[in-house]
Amino acid sequence: EVQLVESGGGLVQPGGSLRLSCVASGFSFNNYYMTWVRQAPEKGLEWVANIKKDGSEKYYVDSVKGRFTISRDNAKNSVYLQMNSLRAEDTAVYYCTTDRGYKCEYWGQGTLVTVSS
């Protein structure tokens, strides 16, 4: 059974940092790009970032470039999202998802990030 389990969310002040983690199981992790998608309260989904199978290439939505960093550790079947200089508009549920064949097939349950003073 495929499982993606996110952790690391919480309440953080504007300008603060947070590191999200996602542990994968049930599939060949190193054969998939991995992606972070977020959903602000009562809003649609937003693609945030993805990372190539070997971690050699990373891509970001413009609004997080220079502030967020995606990384992965294939030995630990894990993908991470380091979020710095957080803003109120980064408040959202962050989902970890697989990315292969131009589709997000498997999703985690999400972790809530709240940026507020």
For another protein, which residue of 9, 23, 27, 47 counts as binding (CB under 8 A)?
A: 47
Query: Pattern of binders to another protein over 60-99, x per CB under 8 A?
Result: -xx--------------------------------x----
Yes or no: say if 53 and 30 are a contact pair by the CB < 8 Å rule.
yes
Task: Tell me the site size for another protein, rule CB under 8 A.
Answer: 24
Beta bridge partners, 80, equal: 21, 71
Residue 7 CA to residue 38 CA, distance in Å, equals 14
Does 27 bind another protein (CB under 8 A)? Our answer is: no
Q: How far is the CB of 59 from another protein (least distance, A)?
A: 5
Three-state DSSP at 45 gives: strand
Segment holding 115, helix H or strand E: strand 111-115
Q: Quick one: 27 or 107, whose CB is closer to another protein?
A: 107
Q: Quick one: 80 or 110, whose CB is closer to another protein?
A: 110
Beta bridge partners, 37, equal: 47, 95
Edge-first strand order for the sheet with 68-73 is 3-7, 18-25, 78-83, 68-73
For another protein, which residue of 17, 57, 76, 87 counts as binding (CB under 8 A)?
A: 57
**Which residues of this chain interact with another protein, rule CB under 8 A?**
33, 35, 37, 43-47, 50, 52, 57, 59, 61-62, 95, 101-105, 107-110
